[in-house]
Chains A and B, each alone.
Chain A
Amino acid sequence: MADKNQTGSVKLEKSDINKVYLRNLFTLQFGWNYEKMQGLGYAYVIMPVLKRLYSNDPEKMKRALKMHLGYFNTTPAMSHLIVGADMALEEELGIEAEEAITGLKTGLMGPFAGVGDTLFIAIYRAIVFSIASYIAMQGNPIGLIIPLIACAGVLWIRYKFTCIGYQSGRKLATGFADKISPITEAASILGLTVVGALIPSVIKYRTDLQFTMGEVTFALQDMLDKIMPSLLPLGIVVFSYWLLGKKKVNSTKLIFILIGLGMVLGNLQSMLTFVAGLF
């Protein structure tokens, strides 16, 4: 392609894109801080591009560095799409496109984090790590291989994201969200089926409470099992779910509540015997 003007003349090479991909994988969050979050990391990730384009022009380099050191935060897996699009914009238009690049970064990081946190963190963990833990609980370490295999798949997806982002530049902003929403829905369905299955298979709590009425002794657990197996584990999960919906309850508080509940449930029989002994 013939040179259009000064800014579009320097082209990125394949090795630049690969360098950016590797930096994006590993170093985006090294410098994470409360002020700019992934800002410092982003500047490091995009640096091979800046070196290629602006290393002969300190004034442009200064502007580019300041721009990329700004606030940035999104799901790391999704950041590849933004970084890819940024590469394309900067290659074509250079630092003159400062506003467009900043707009692209800040405009996409929010929506992408929304999709990415659900898909790559919540659902991914619900499926991959719950199955690995379930196998580990049976006393078998082989399940630990599942997250490693899944991770290889994610690394491939992240590479594809870099390429897709680079190729489609700004166009990706609108099209990508539409394409990905059925996938998120499908993954949610899989995730919820697994969560439902995990409750009876993982939470094995059974009450040992017994009532003696005259000559007959009732075991509470037997009566509960006749209504539905795993009724108590389901009840405890629904109770926790309900508590998390309250504004004042976060996961840390929930831990204390559940430990307290465990203390009570574990000692319930002896507590009741103690109370009964008072009369």
Chain B
Amino acid sequence: MQGVSLLVVIALILYTVIAVVDQISIQCGLYTPLFAAVITGALLGDLPTGLIVGATLQLMTLGVATYGGATVPDYLSGAIMGTAYAIISGQGAEYGIGLAIPIGLLLTQMDILGRMTNSFFQHYADRCAENADYKGVERANLLGLLPWVLSRVIPVALGLIFGEAVVNGVNAIIPAWFMTGLKTAGAILPAMGMAILMRYLPIKKYYPYFIIGFVLIAFGGATFTVMAAALIGLALAALHLSRARERAAVQTLDEEEVEIDG
């Protein structure tokens, strides 16, 4: 077993900074556990483990998003540390998934702390506004990035530097049945991602499409892939859209006729 080299720690800290900016701005995906685990795996020389940890965490957290600024567990930091621990301990992807989840949950507190700290900058900006000091307002918003970045970078840096000690400590405590259970838990946890999405999407109205997707893969899994199901979904969506357009066109016609009659 070896620890994480200083160079890799620095690279991962830089990545974390970029990922946090991505998370609060354009969300192109660098902030997701999928990218975090894959990049960590690549930097530590074990891409396959990174791919499995990342994909599993991503599927589990598909529906877990910050709607309206609600705080969610920090699976970005969790994925980085979980993947790193899985690789340096040599225990495999399930071990990493099992660790990433509690780490992410624990770091929820850091997210809340960061958002609370930003109230300070809001007050600072309010004071600047009284003096029409627009440069001060600009400064306040830019400084607001600091709590965001620090709330992620500090735990990631500490977690990676003391990684070996953490792994050894965890290994000494965990019994075998727990590891078996964790593996099964890792296999069923993506159910949460699907369930949250089903809560967000209008499943009561459009459940037939859900059934189509399920049956395609459950019975035809040897022939169909998820990509195939997505394309069928796209075709069904396009049909719905064109029918909606036709209905709208008919409605406008009706309205115009009424006007003529009047």
Contact = CB atoms under 8 A, between A and B. Distances in A.
A31 B144 contact: yes
A239 B42 CA distance: 36
Contacts of A195: 194, 197-198, 201, 210, 213
Interface in B188-203: 188-203
Interface residues of B, number: 113
A144 B34 contact: yes
Given A188-B201, A189-B240, A237 B191 contact: yes
Interface in A28-42: 28-41
Contacts of A251: 63-64, 72, 192, 196
Contacts of A65: 128-129, 132, 134, 137
B128 to A, nearest CB: 7
A154 B27 CA distance: 10
Interface secondary structure of A, over-half rule: helix
Interface string A170-193: 000000000000110111111111
A240 B125 CA distance: 44
Interface residues of A, number: 110
Contact of B227 (A131, A241, A259): A131
Given A202-B190, A259-B185, A130 B62 contact: yes
B58 A61 contact: no
Contacts of A196: 209-217, 229
B215 to A, nearest CB: 8
A127 B138 contact: no
A141 interface: yes
Interface string A126-164: 111111111011011100100110010011000000000
A126 B38 contact: no
B59 A182 contact: no
B135 to A, nearest CB: 9
Nearest to A124: B27
A186 B201 CA distance: 11
A58 B130 CA distance: 10
A244 interface: yes
Contacts of B241: 182-183, 185-186
Which of B63, B73, B197, B212: most chain A Cβ within 10 A?
A: B197
Contacts of A41: 141, 144
Contacts of B192: 240, 251, 254-255, 258
Interface of B: 21, 24-29, 32, 34-35, 38, 42, 47-48, 51-52, 54-56, 58-59, 62-65, 67-69, 72-73, 101, 105, 108, 115-116, 118-119, 121-122, 125-126, 128-132, 134, 137-138, 140-145, 148, 177-178, 180-203, 206-207, 209-219, 221, 224-227, 229-230, 232-234, 236-238, 240-241, 244-245, 248
5 A-B pairs with the lowest CB-CB distances in the bound complex, closest first:
A262-B185, A196-B213, A193-B233, A31-B144, A266-B184
Given A33-B119, A194-B213, A203-B187, 16 more contacts: A31-B121, A32-B115, A40-B121, A41-B144, A132-B58, A144-B38, A147-B35, A187-B237, A192-B213, A200-B214, A229-B219, A234-B218, A237-B198, A239-B191, A252-B108, A258-B189
24 contacts: A29-B25, A32-B69, A33-B144, A59-B132, A65-B137, A121-B67, A129-B58, A132-B29, A133-B34, A137-B56, A151-B28, A185-B241, A192-B209, A193-B210, A199-B191, A203-B194, A205-B188, A244-B199, A259-B182, A262-B185, A262-B188, A263-B178, A265-B184, A265-B188
Interface of A: 25-41, 43-44, 47, 50-51, 55, 58-59, 61-62, 65-66, 69, 73, 76, 113, 117-118, 121-123, 125-134, 136-137, 139-141, 144, 147-148, 151, 154-155, 182-183, 185-205, 228-230, 233-234, 236-241, 243-245, 251-252, 254-255, 258-259, 261-267, 270
